Amino acid sequence: MVNLSVIHITTHNPNSVKFEPSKKAKQKLNAMNISFKDKVALVTGGASGIGFAAAKAFAEAGASVALADINESAALKASKELESLGYKVLAIKCDVTNEMEVKAMVEKTVAVYGRLDVAYNNAGMHVPVAETADALSEDFDKAIAINLKGIWSCMKYELQQMRKQGSGAIVNCSSQSGLVGTANLGAYTAAKHGVVGLTKASALEYVSRGIRINCICPGTTETPMVANAVADRPEHMDAIISAIPQGRMGKAEEIASAVLWLCSEGAGFMIGQAVTPDGGYTIK
């Protein structure tokens, strides 16, 4: 097991300086006065990491939340945690590679809550580190199926509902690897670049119908998926973490706050954009 509390300071680079957000800054992460009162939010991959942070943030902002995850027990556990805090949360089991499960996810959300106002398509997976010549075709297919086609399937059914309503906001999860090349992660990089392109194309289709679509491209963030990557490929991940100009990994709550803003009325002029909270990684 990897202790996330120390991952961000683990580096073989003696010149790397690590900075932590202040306690005051952490308290302000969800203090942007964004309200989703009487709104319905759907989050995929919502049982852990950035997805859970986003689901919690939407709930804290007043939304009724549909929390979907391929791991049904994890989704139920996460929803019960939020319900214990007084929030309205619906747990849904959904494999985003199964189009019928995606369709049922949206239908259940609407059946229970009556509408769908915002969606954060967060479900994704990493791939084994490998040179292109050595990568397995099944790993490539899986990366595309989950990280790209899964986003497409979710948008397809979310948009069918939002189109009826004449309003809505969608944020798709890409990655810093959707903007730059990441050696030895070809399939992941290709899928995440695809999410950016899909977001832009779809945004143009629906902007005139009151629906905004954007994507977020997080840098390396403290999540269970990254913890597993650090444990499995420490040298590869150490090189990526050490190259972050801010000197640390991101927090799931920091990414979630950007997602909420993109879904809010305050981001009403944001159409088809790739917002990049990455500690400066992609501007070098």
User: In angstroms, what CA-CA distances link 146 with 21, 98, 238?
Assistant: 32, 10, 25
Beta strand ranges found along 55-108 (DSSP E): 64-69, 89-93
DSSP run (H or E) holding 199:
helix 186-206
Contact indicator for 228, 2 with CB cutoff of 8 Å: yes
273/275 Cα distance (integer angstroms):
6
Specify whether the CB–CB gap between 40 and 114 falls below 8 A. Answer: yes
Angle between helices 49-60 and 72-83 (to 10 degrees): 30
Q: Which residue out of 87, 113, 188, 206 is catalytically annotated?
A: 188
Length of the chain: 284
- Cα 221 from chain centroid? 11
Backbone φ and ψ for 178, nearest 5 degrees, come out as -85, -5
- Angle (nearest 5°) at CA 251 between 248 and 257: 130
Catalytic residue at 188? yes
List, by residue number, the catalytic residues.
188
